[in-house]
Amino acid sequence: MNKRLVFPVTRVADHLSASQQCLATAESCTGGWIAKVCTDLAGSSAWFERGFVTYSNAAKQEMLDVSADTLHRYGAVSEPVVRQMALGALRNSHAHWSLAVSGVAGPGGGSADKPVGTVWFAWAGPHNQLSTRCCRFDGDREAVRLQTVETALQELSELLAGVV
């Protein structure tokens, strides 16, 4: 496992295990990389419930209940879409917490308002907790995706530290 990812995923595991809660992931641009990092950790079955890889808009709609209208209005890389992805992951799993990512990893696909490296994140939890964030990462496709995985886990770790 990439050394940059060990610390945040270990902290996530510790927090979720201690509270007997579990996580579901909803991933687009990372293609399951966050779920892979989580399940690389021995004992992850105690706190990792499932991962949704929803790369296409159809998958987002079918697996996570993302509205076609939201996708049409805002595009897949947007705050409204990741909010719906995170909430859909909770509704369609037995998890207590979810995280969702959707972004433009490149090298193509960017636009003036959503350049390559733009990634939207959402984290959802018990008691209607929901937070979002947008980042713009530099680098090639691999670098953007790695920074996305790292940010998703680091932010979740910090969120859990303040709640669990």
| CATH code, 132 | 3.90.950.20
Domain extent, residue 146, equals 3-163
Backbone angles phi, psi at 102, to 5 degrees: -150, 130
What pTM does this model have? 0.96
Q: pLDDT, tens digit, for every residue of 131-146?
A: 999 999 999 999 999 9
Mean pLDDT value across residues 66-84: 98
Share of the chain above pLDDT 90, in %: 92
Both tokens assigned to 74: 């805002």
> Does pLDDT of 74 surpass 70?
yes
Mean pLDDT value across residues 44-71: 98
Mean pLDDT value across residues 68-84: 98
Q: What is the pLDDT of residue 164?
A: 57
> Does pLDDT of 14 surpass 90?
yes
Place of tokens 């706190």: 47
Total domains present in the chain = 1
What is the DSSP secondary structure assignment for residue 128, as one 8-state letter?
Answer: T
- Could you give the CA distance from residue 105 to residue 29 in angstroms, rounded to a whole number? 6
